[in-house]
Amino acid sequence: MKAQTWHGGANFTLDEIPKPEPSPGYVLIEIDTTGICGTDVHVTQGLFPKDPPQILGHESSGTIVDVGAGVSEDRIGQRVCINHPNSCYECWSCRNWSICRCENQSGPTNGYFAEFTAVPSRAAVEIPEALDVETAALTEPAACCLSGVEMLDIPYRATGLVIGAGIMGLFTAAFLKSHGVETLVVSEPVPVRREMAKQFGADILHDPNDIPLSDVIAEVTDDGRGFEVTAEAVGKPELVATCINSTKPRGQTLMIGVSPEGSPLPVDLYDMHYREIKLVGAFRQGDVTHRVPDELAKLNLNNVISGRYSLADLPEAITASAEGLGVKFVIKPND
């Protein structure tokens, strides 16, 4: 089968590698769609720790075409999304933290920028009829956002702010609205992403290149004291600081975007301490993946996918994502 191998930096090769065989307890999936994640972009920029060579890609959906021993053949033909990574469900972290932080996790046979992959049967989550298989590839980023939002304690009639309207910001906005935020501001400099936030529930759109965020805070929040809930969905420490500084006393800031490893927090810790701000880190998809396909089917996801690329064109897709040329770019390995 064909797969794209990452060799460091922006260097990829399109390779012929052995098609994986489903081991006992595993299923073989013909990949329909794999999303370009901000993490994939950051890996190529040296901002996220990964060691080459390897096959990247962790947001995927497809169809089960074969099963290993111990898996019912009734699974063949099921449309699924993939709950990445593989978890043991038995270690301390699986039982007390979340299954995505498994201490014994092993990766799939290969990453998902490939034509096929083999994963444990329980990691292949069947999707509802109301959800098309391409859109189901958005399950992983949506799960990260739902897991994060559910860490918050959202007060009645809360005001909220999301900085960044890439796919992570959009899903964060949608789940903040569905979990009780009454008035939501989404701040995003890229017009196509900013406008997209409307269909995800944003009440007010903010262009940071147009007016200061402080003007919005003064107009929208109680006495200009700040938002009850803020969320950073870009992965830039200075924007995490902006969220903290935009949060009212005893409010909450959620980190959805992944900042580079070793990043300092450029904020006045005395002020944050004085105002009793709660800072919440949300990393990976928690334990909610099995619920997310049904949640996706409820959302208006029209035109969220801005571009579809062949497997051979993966480097171009990563560049388009890095340059913010749309909302979400995906790879179609078998087209």
Same domain, 251 and 172: yes
Same domain, yes or no, for 82 and 105?
Answer: yes
Q: Which two tokens stand for residue 140?
A: 């992983």
Domain identity same for 271 and 183: yes
pTM: 0.93
Q: How many CA atoms lie within 13 A of 92 on its CB side?
A: 0
Q: Which two tokens stand for residue 63?
A: 């169809």
pLDDT reported for residue 107: 61
Structural domain that includes position 136? 2-143+285-332
In a shared domain, residues 93 and 21: yes
Tell me what pLDDT residue 109 has: 64
**What CATH code is carried by the domain that includes residue 241?**
3.40.50.720
**Are residues 169 and 118 located together in one domain of the fold?**
no
Residues acting as catalytic residues: 39, 42
Beta bridge partners of 248: none
Q: What is the mean pLDDT of each run of 10 residues along the chain (335 residues)?
A: 96 97 96 94 90 94 98 98 84 91 76 95 94 97 97 97 97 98 97 96 98 96 95 97 98 95 95 98 93 96 96 97 92 96
CATH of the domain at 292: 3.90.180.10
Tell me, yes or no, whether 16 and 122 share the same domain. Answer: yes
One DSSP character per residue, 47-108 reads -S---SSB-----EEEEEEEE-TTS-GGGTT-EEEE--S---S-SHHHHHT-GGG-TT----
* Residues 199, 275 within the same domain: yes
* Co-location of 113 and 222 in the same domain: no
Same domain, 204 and 255: yes
Q: What is the pLDDT of residue 85?
A: 67
The C-alpha atoms of residue 252 and residue 53 are separated, in whole angstroms, by: 39
Task: Identify whether residues 227 and 306 lie together within a single domain.
Answer: no
Instruction: With both helix axes pointing from N to C terminus, report the angle between 167-178 and 139-149 in degrees, rounded to the nearest 10.
Output: 50
Same domain, 124 and 246: no
**What is the per-residue pLDDT for 136?**
97
β-strands 158-163, 227-232 pairing: parallel
Shared domain for 264 and 308, answered yes or no, is: no
Residue 172 contacts residue 201 (beta carbons within 8 Å): no
**Structural domains in the chain (count):** 2
